[in-house]
Amino acid sequence: MSLRRFLTGCLLSCTALAASAQVCTNQGMRTAAQAQQAVARGNAAEARALLQRAYEECQVSATVLRKIAAVYEEMGDSAQASLFRRQADRFGTPFTLEHEPASPGPGGNSQIEDKSFVREKWALVVGISHFKNPAMNLRFAAKDATDFAAMLTDPKIGRFRNDPQHVKLITDEKATVEGIRTAINEIARDARKEDLVVMYFSSHGTSAGSDVASDEGKSGYIVAYNTDPQNLYATAFPMDELKRVVDTRFKAGRIVAFMDTCYSGGFHGPGGSPGGKALQLGVSTDSIARMAQGKGRVVIASSRDSEQSWESDSYQNSYFTHFLIQAMAKASGTLTVTQIFTELQRSVPKAVLTEKKAAQNPVMSPEGRSIDIVLGTATD
């Protein structure tokens, strides 16, 4: 689907989709209120049936889940109340319901594992198949980005608002360095501390070793539409700049980046392989780790810096993006970032080894922590 078709579709449907999360919440709350009335009448069986219906109507709204927990508490079923409160904590809520534990005061946990309210969600999605220099062309990178954006805006999975203000899809000739910076600036202007920002890049990547700067100034780069491989500093997007954006421009408390750009090989260089991404070396693991430093930030990259990231003829996507979309679709978009990464770890290496006889292992930074950010959380 082209960017023009995407924007035309948004014009027709964004209002309805933007309201879908609130409709879900309203319906679930009405049913839970009916359950509360059944409790008052002494009809526990009817109350339980209504609570189950409320859960089925809106499984991703913390407001509904906490209301269900409160009603179970009234019934004296502390086990079920605790279960639904824990589930609600995965999504967060702006409301404080009766019987709800008080919010942590100042000095409480504000690290990446926070499960607090998500006010709004924003995304920058970039994919480049056709470059100004046709020798750099990829087959499926633009389609990767379009498919990922469609998953984010699916009202049953990603639950992002389906409009170009909230999900900025930039492909091919639009994905210049200037175009990427403009989109970043717009998100930085709109996103607040309580928000979630998702960034996705599908393109070539270069390592710091490809930079002509001194050792202290070297940077890996994301290759833009108009990048000149012989002049990366002037024409590509530096990973160090992306880190500064995350550090200083975005106010959002949660930032998740997916980098389908790592080691390539396919651009003229020795060891290049058809179906692989990038110029000569990939965005380094160190660059990924630096970008993920700080609370509320996580980066998932498609491969280690010593490996190639592959595109798949059978999937018509990169392996990484194909399995990323599959993982996001599981459980109606309610998997945590850690659970999504676990799915990628299981699926990508096996498929690439089977079909390409090569190694490709996705990596996540920070390592060794459970990241409870849920991309598909509803914004109540």
Q: pLDDT digit string (tens) for 16-58?
A: 433 455 567 788 888 998 999 898 888 999 999 999 999 888 8
Distances (CA, A) of 181 to 178, 215, 263: 5, 25, 23
Which residues form the domain of 43? 18-89
Whether residues 265 and 344 share a domain: the answer is: yes
pLDDT band at 215 (very low <50, low <70, confident <90, very high): low
Whether residues 224 and 342 share a domain: the answer is: yes
Whether residues 28 and 173 share a domain: the answer is: no
List b or e across 261-272, with b for residues whose CB sees 16 or more CB atoms inside 10 angstroms: bbbbbbbeeeee
Share of the chain above pLDDT 90, in %: 47
Whether residues 58 and 137 share a domain: the answer is: no
What is residue 289's predicted lDDT score, i.e. its pLDDT?
47
Burial class (CB within 10 angstroms; exposed 0-12, middle 13-18, buried 19+) of 99: middle
Whether residues 303 and 155 share a domain: the answer is: yes
Share of the chain above pLDDT 70, in %: 73
Count how many domains the chain has. 2
Residue 12, domain member (yes or no) = no
Query: End of a domain among 89, 109, 142?
Result: 89
Whether residues 265 and 133 share a domain: the answer is: yes
CATH number of the domain at 75, please: 1.25.40
pLDDT at 310 over 80: yes
pLDDT at 331 over 70: yes
Tens of pLDDT, residues 70-122: 999 889 988 888 888 877 776 543 333 233 333 333 333 333 344 567 899 99
Residue 1, domain member (yes or no) = no
Residue 377, domain member (yes or no) = no
What is residue 134's predicted lDDT score, i.e. its pLDDT?
93
Residue 191, domain member (yes or no) = yes
CATH number of the domain at 316, please: 3.40.50.1460
Distances (CA, A) of 228 to 89, 133, 134, 222, 234: 47, 8, 11, 12, 8
Residue 146 DSSP SS3? helix
pLDDT at 124 over 70: yes
| Cα four-point dihedral sign 204, 209, 210, 215 | positive
Whether residues 133 and 84 share a domain: the answer is: no
Rounded to the nearest 10°, the torsion over CA 339, 342, 346, 349 is: 130
Q: Give the number of other CB atoms < 10 A from CB of residue 153.
A: 25
Whether residues 317 and 168 share a domain: the answer is: yes
Q: Name the most confidently modeled range: 37-51, 132-146, 283-297.
A: 132-146
Beta bridge partners of 297: 255
- Does pTM surpass 0.75? no
Whether residues 164 and 65 share a domain: the answer is: no
Whether residues 83 and 127 share a domain: the answer is: no
Show the 3-state SS of 303-333.
Answer: CCCCCCCEEECCCCEEHHHHHHHHHHHHHHH
What is residue 272's predicted lDDT score, i.e. its pLDDT?
43
Whether residues 80 and 172 share a domain: the answer is: no
Q: Determine which of 119-123, 213-217, 281-285, 327-331 has the lowest per-residue pLDDT on average.
A: 281-285
